Amino acid sequence: MNKQQINIIDSFGREHDYLRISLTERCNLRCMYCMPEEGVHLKENSKYMSKDEILLLANSFVKLGVKKIRLTGGEPLVRKDVAEIISELAKLDVELAITTNGILIDKYLNIFIDSGLKSINVSLDSLKKGKFKELTRRNYFDKVMSNIELLIENNFHVKLNAVLIKDENDDELIDFIEFTKNKPVHFRFIEFMPFDGNSWDKSKIVSYDSIIKIATEKYGKDLIRLTDKKNDTSKSYKISGYLGTFAVISSVTNPFCDSCNRIRLTADGKIKNCLFSNSETDLLSALRQGENIESLIRKSIWDKKEIRAGMNTMEDFSDPAEHHKNRAMISIGG
C-alpha cells in the first residue's frame, strides 16, 4: 500500500484518500430510489470517460495520495471494457473494490480473483422475490442470490446494501439481520436519501435510532456494538454467536461528515466533493485540454462544505428544491 503524503485536504482538515469512480450511468435494474422508472437521458459516448481517460485520472488521484478506489455505476459490470479497466487499475498501489447489483458477478468472478479485488458490495433491498422485483422493477432475484453465494464460497469480503424505505421493505429488518447468522457477510442498512427523480420525503426514512431500537427489542444483550474504523460511514453491530455483522449508514439523520474521506468521479468525468452537492468540477474537459488536473482536484476538495454540501439541518435537507438541483443517484455513482 502506498505511503505517500495525502495532498487532498479540505478547509476543515479532512484528508481525502478514497476515490469512487463511476464507470457508467447505465444499469440493468431500475431501483426506485436510484433511477426514475423511465431511466435517465444518456449523453453521447464522447461525453463519458474512455478507458484510457479513467486510467489517467486514477493515476492523478493516486499521485495525490488516494489509497482506495471503488468502481461504481450505474452498474459497472455492464460496461464492455470493465475487465480491462479492473486489470489495469489493479496494477496501481491501491486497494481496489467494486459495488454491483450482483447480476453479472459470475461472468467476472475470475477477473476479480486474478486482479486481487476482494471487497465487493452487492445491492440487496429485499429477501423476498416479489418485493425484489417491485423495488428493482426487474426479475433477477434468483441470479443475485446465487451470485452472493458464489462470492461467499470464494472467500470474498461481501457487504450487502439495503436501502430501507418505510412501508416498502422495513418489515424485513430482522430478516436481514438473521441473514448474517450463518453467513460471513456484512449487511448494511442505508437511510433513504433524496435525489432527483426518486420521490423522497422524510416520512419514508427508516432512521438509525429506529433500526437500533427494533434490533435491541429483538436481541437485547446479544446485540453488540462494534468498533468502527476511522473513516467508516457506518455504525457496526453484530449479534452474539452470528457469523456475520450488520451496520447502519445514517447519511440523513446522523451524518458522518466529520470523518469523510471520499471523492466521487462521475462517469462523465466530474468531481463531486459530496454526494449531496449540486456543484461539480469538470476534470474530463480539463484533461482533454491539457490543463493541470491536480490543482483542480485540490481546489474542488478544499471548497467542500462542512456538512452535507451545506445542508446543515433537517429543514435544509427537506427542501425539495435542493434535491432537484442534484443528479439522480444513477448519474452520480453509488
For the chain, percent of residues with pLDDT exceeding 70: 85
What's the pLDDT tens digit per position in 17-75?
A: 999 999 999 999 887 777 766 666 778 999 999 999 999 999 999 999 999 999 999 89
Residue 1 lies in a domain: no
Mean pLDDT of the chain: 88
pLDDT at 2: 45
Residue 108 lies in a domain: yes
Q: How many domains does the chain have?
A: 1
| Cα diameter, the chain | 60
Residue 315 lies in a domain: yes
Q: Is pLDDT at 97 greater than 70 in this prediction? A: yes
Q: Is pLDDT at 200 greater than 70 in this prediction? A: no
Q: How far apart are CA 268 and CA 332, in angstroms?
A: 9
Cis peptide before 74 (omega within 30 of 0): yes
Q: Is pLDDT at 318 greater than 70 in this prediction? A: no
**Least confident among 38-52, 128-142, 190-204, 268-282:** 190-204
pLDDT at 34: 73
**Least confident among 23-27, 175-179, 194-198:** 194-198
Chain center to CA of 84: 22
Tell the residue number behind the cell numbers 452535507, with chain if given: 308
pLDDT at 333: 56
Residue 298 lies in a domain: yes
Q: Which residues of 208-223 are buried (b: 16+ CB within 10 A; e: fewer)?
A: bebbbeebeeebeeeb
For the chain, percent of residues with pLDDT exceeding 90: 69
Looking at the DSSP bridge assignments, the partners of residue 54 are none
Q: Is pLDDT at 149 greater than 60 in this prediction? A: yes
pLDDT at 218: 98
Q: Smallest Cα–Cα separation from 154: which of 101, 118, 197, 202?
A: 118
Query: Model confidence at 205, in pLDDT bands (50, 70, 90)?
Result: confident
User: Is the pLDDT higher at 312 or at 10?
Assistant: 10
pLDDT at 254: 63
Q: Which three cell numbers stand for residue 194?
A: 433524496
Tell the residue number behind the cell numbers 471503488, with chain if given: 70
**Least confident among 2-6, 271-275, 282-286, 325-329:** 325-329
User: Is the pLDDT higher at 129 or at 321?
Assistant: 129
Q: Which residues of 255-264 are buried (b: 16+ CB within 10 A; e: fewer)?
A: bbbeebbbbb
Q: What is the mean pLDDT of residues 90-105?
A: 97
Q: How far apart are CA 334 and CA 323, in angstroms?
A: 16
Q: What is the mean pLDDT of residues 169-193?
A: 95
pLDDT at 284: 98
Q: What is the mean pLDDT of residues 102-127?
A: 97
| CATH at 239 | 3.20.20.70
Query: Model confidence at 308, in pLDDT bands (50, 70, 90)?
Result: low
| H-assigned helices in the chain | 51-63, 82-89, 105-115, 129-136, 141-153, 173-179, 208-219, 283-288, 293-302, 314-317, 320-325, 329-332
| CB 81, CB 50: distance < 8 Å | no
Q: How far apart are CA 300 and CA 30, in angstroms?
A: 31
Q: How far apart are CA 10 and CA 114, in angstroms?
A: 36
Residue 3 lies in a domain: no
Give the total residue count for the chain.
334
User: Is the pLDDT higher at 43 or at 97?
Assistant: 97
Residue 65 lies in a domain: yes
Residue 43 CB neighbours (<10 A): 12
Query: Model confidence at 171, in pLDDT bands (50, 70, 90)?
Result: very high
Q: Is pLDDT at 195 greater than 90 in this prediction? A: no
Q: How far apart are CA 78 and CA 300, in angstroms?
A: 29
Residue 13 lies in a domain: no
| Residue 153 amino acid letter | E
Q: Range of 72's domain?
A: 18-332
What's the pLDDT tens digit per position in 258-289?
A: 888 999 999 999 998 887 777 899 999 999 99
pLDDT at 5: 65
Q: Any residues with CB less than 8 A from the CB of 208 and at least 6 apart, and which?
A: 191, 235, 248, 250, 253, 254
Q: What is the mean pLDDT of residues 241-248?
A: 97
Q: Which three cell numbers stand for residue 102?
A: 450482483
Residue 282 lies in a domain: yes
pLDDT at 193: 67
Q: Smallest Cα–Cα separation from 166: which of 222, 197, 207?
A: 207
Q: Which three cell numbers stand for residue 99?
A: 459495488
